[in-house]
Amino acid sequence: MASSSGGTPRVNPMKGRVVATGDTPASAGNIANIVTVIRILLAPVFIILLLDDAGKDGYLRYIAAIVFVFAIVTDSVDGLLARQRNLVTDLGKLIDPIADKVLTGGALVGLSILGELWWWVTIVILVREVGITVFRFIALRDRVIAASWLGKVKTVAQAVAISFALFPFWNLIPAWSPGIHVFNELLMAIALVLTMVSGVEYLWQAYKVGRAKRTALPE
């Protein structure tokens, strides 16, 4: 086994449990992380299909929408596998939020490129998502802020709003087209508001945790 410069043995992160449940160390290549990686790899496939359709609302658009829904739904699959089988790893904690941001961010940018979503909406959501993610990894390395119910609702609202925006339902019943567009805009507005409010709430919780930690330190 290789050793670091200080003589401490280096543990191969790929060694450990891949599927089986237990208390022994889990492999970084476990089934939950594999599902997460598949989600990340599906993101460019989805984006390419969406942009190749070029707003024509053809079969590529439907395939892109289906790929997005499949990838976003499997977010609950990898998390469930990791928790139920005790397969939580540092790698999983890192790449799981990345998968979410790549999928939702790619969808928002794609819709804006096609002229179907205002750029300012995409920018506001991306700044919030990327900002909170960077803050979580850098500023909160020594403390954990549990995901709130509002944050979870925000994630679901984004997924639902983007899914409805991707499927061109307005072509199925042309007479309902104006109402469908209004409905989609309403869903996106709800997702936008929840995104901003949950971001403020997260920063407030981080502030309270930091203040409690400072108070607990001996003078």
- With respect to residue 52, please indicate whether it lies within any of the assigned structural domains: yes
Q: What is the model's pLDDT at position 146?
A: 58
Q: What is the model's pLDDT at position 7?
A: 52
Is residue 87 predicted with pLDDT exceeding 90? no
Q: What is the model's pLDDT at position 61?
A: 97
Q: What is the model's pLDDT at position 6?
A: 54
- Quote the pTM value: 0.84
- With respect to residue 24, please indicate whether it lies within any of the assigned structural domains: no
Is residue 218 predicted with pLDDT exceeding 50? no
Long-range contacts of 213-216 (CB under 8 A, 24+ apart): 213/143
Greater confidence (187 vs 148) lies with 187
- With respect to residue 193, please indicate whether it lies within any of the assigned structural domains: yes
CATH of residue 109 = 1.20.120.1760
Greater confidence (145 vs 193) lies with 193
Rounded CA gap, 190 and 102, in Å?
21
How many domains does the structure of the chain reveal? 1
Rounded CA gap, 166 and 108, in Å?
10
pLDDT tens digits for range 116-136: 999 999 999 999 999 988 887
Residue of 215, 214, 209, 190 whose CA lies nearest to 146: 209
- With respect to residue 219, please indicate whether it lies within any of the assigned structural domains: no
- With respect to residue 9, please indicate whether it lies within any of the assigned structural domains: no
pLDDT tens digits for range 171-190: 888 888 999 999 999 999 99
Domain of residue 96: give its range: 31-213
Q: What is the model's pLDDT at position 74?
A: 86
What does the mean pLDDT of the chain come to?
Answer: 85
- With respect to residue 147, please indicate whether it lies within any of the assigned structural domains: yes
- Residue carrying the six token digits 């450990």: 16
- With respect to residue 181, please indicate whether it lies within any of the assigned structural domains: yes
